[in-house]
Structure 1
Amino acid sequence: MDKALPATVMPATVIAEDLLPGDLIFQLRSGGEAEWVISRLFAGRDGAAINHVALYDGDGMVLEAVMPQVKKTSLDDFVSNSVLDNHGRPCVLICRLVSSYSALVPAALEFAEQQLSMPYDLHYSQNQDEHQKSWYCSELIVHAFRSANDGVFLFEETPMSFRDMETGELMPFWIDHYQAVGQKIPEELPGSHPALLSCSDKLISINILGSLPARNGQDVCSLEPGSTLA
C-alpha cells in the first residue's frame, strides 16, 4: 500500500487538474523581509495575503518574474515556495480570464516566453513600455496581456504604494532600499501589485488552496519555504 502523503504536502499534480494555459497563479510566497513587506502593501481577493503571481504555461510549467530573472518553473517548485496554512495547504489562488478575453491567452504566453532570462525589476521601475528589459511579477503579466490586446491595458495599472496598509506609513525597508540606489520612492506612480491584480473583474476565481488574511503577513512571510503555521 502506498504511504499517505503528510498533511503538509499538496502535490502539484492535484493543482494542475484545475489549470488551463493562461491561468494566473497567485501565491503567498515565503522567504525573507522582501516577501513580507510586499505582502503588507495591499490585500488581495477576499482579503488574502498575496505577494507573487505567475502565469501557467501548460504541461506543469509556469512563467514567473522572480529574482534574479524571468524564468520557466515547474509547478512543483512553484508550489514548494508557498507558505502553508495551518491545515498544511499551500497559500495559492488560481484565477482565470473571463471567457470574453480568453482569445488573448496565446499571444500573452508568447510575449511572456520572449521575456525569459530578462532580469527581475528589483526597483519596480516606472514609465517603461512593453519593450523594457526588466520585469517584476505582476508587471510581466500586466504587459503580457497588454501586448496581446494590441497595446491596450487589459489589467489597468494602479498607483504604486510603499506604505504599510494598516499604519499608512512608508515602510523602513523601502526607504532604505531606494536610498541605497539613489532613487526616489515611486509612490503613487502607475504600476501593479499581485494582490490588486487578483481583485480584477477580468478574472474569476477557479480554486483557493489555502489563504490567510493580509494582516497576518508578518507572521507567515518570515517562514522558510514549505513551513507551516501549524
Structure 2
Amino acid sequence: MRKLLICILSAVLLFFQARAQENIQLKSGDLIFQNLDCGPLCDAINAVTQGYQGNKFSHMGMVLLRNDSVLIIEASGKNVHLTPLKTFLSKSAHPHYVGRLKPAYQKLIPTALAFSMAQMGVLYDDQYLYNNGKYYCSELIYDAFKAANKNKPFFKLFPMTYKEPGSGAYFPVWKVYFEHLNMEVPEGKPGCNPGGISLSDKIDILGQYK
C-alpha cells in the first residue's frame, strides 16, 4: 500500500511539473538559462559559479517573438545571432530555466531587444574581457540592459576567476585556452556569468522550460 501511495504521489508531482513547464508562455525579453555540456571548459565555469537554486548555468540567451516564431538572441560560436527556440533547447539535455524581469523593469525590454538586435554579427568574445568590442553570452545581456537603463548598470559585474576553488591554481583547461590565444589569464577582471544573472533580484525565475 505504501509503495502504491508513493507511486501515485510521484505521478502527481511529475504531472504538475509538466503542467508548470507547459504553462510558461514565453515573452520577448525573457531570459533562458542553459547548462551546456561543453566538456572541461563548462565544468570549470560551473565549478566557480552558482545559479538559481544551486543550478549550474554555463550559457544564456534572450527571447524574441517575431511573427509566429520564437527566437533566441545569443552570443555563442562565432558571433551574436538568432537561433530558433527548438534548436537552442536541443543543445542541452539539462532543464532550462526561464527568467522574466519584474514588472517594475519590464519597460526596459524594448530598448534591450533593440540593442541586442543591433549587435547581430558582432564577434564572440573568446577572450572574456568586458568592453572589448566583442560579446560572450551574459556580457551581451548585461550591456543590453545597461543601455536600456540609460547606460547605468542593471545587472552586476564581478571579478572573474579561473582558479580551482581552494587551490589557488588555475584550471589546466583555462591555462591551455588562454595560451592558445597568446594572452595572460584575465584573473580578477570584471565580468558576468549566467548563474550570477539568474540570481539577480531584478528577475523572477518562472521555472523549467523544455
TM-score (norm 1): 0.76
Contact 2:51 2:198 in 1 (8 A): yes
| Number of corresponding residues | 188
Structure 1 residue 205: Cα displacement:
0.7
Q: Point out 4+ residue stretches in structure 1 off by more than 6 angstroms.
A: none
C-alpha spacing 1:121/1:64, structure 2 compared with 1 (3 Å): same
C-alpha spacing 1:165/1:203, structure 2 compared with 1 (3 Å): farther
Question: For the pair shown, which has the larger CA radius of gyration, 1 or 2?
Answer: 2
Q: Which shows bigger deviation, 59-68 or 157-166?
A: 157-166
The gaps in structure 1 that reach 5 residues or longer are: 1-13, 85-90, 211-230
Aligned equivalents of 1:167, 1:209: Cα separation in 2: 36
Deviations, residues 93-126 of structure 1 (Å, cap 9, x unaligned): 1101111110000000011111111111011023
Question: 1:179 matched to which residue of 2?
Answer: 179
Pick aligned residue for 1:109 from 107, 113, 116: 113
Deviations, residues 31-78 of structure 1 (Å, cap 9, x unaligned): 333333222221111110110000001131110000111110010000
- Partner of 1:40, secondary structure, is helix
Aligned equivalents of 1:174, 1:55: Cα separation in 2: 27
Contact 2:24 2:209 in 1 (8 A): no
Contact 2:130 2:139 in 1 (8 A): no
Pick aligned residue for 1:93 from 82, 94, 97: 97
The gaps in structure 2 that reach 5 residues or longer are: 1-20
TM-score (norm 2): 0.82
Aligned equivalents of 1:46, 1:191: Cα separation in 2: 21
Aligned equivalents of 1:108, 1:98: Cα separation in 2: 15
- 1:206 maps to 2:203: no
Question: 1:34 matched to which residue of 2?
Answer: 41
Structure 1 residue 82: Cα displacement:
1.2
Question: RMSD of the alignment, in Å?
Answer: 2.0
- Partner of 2:121, secondary structure, is coil
Question: 1:125 matched to which residue of 2?
Answer: 129
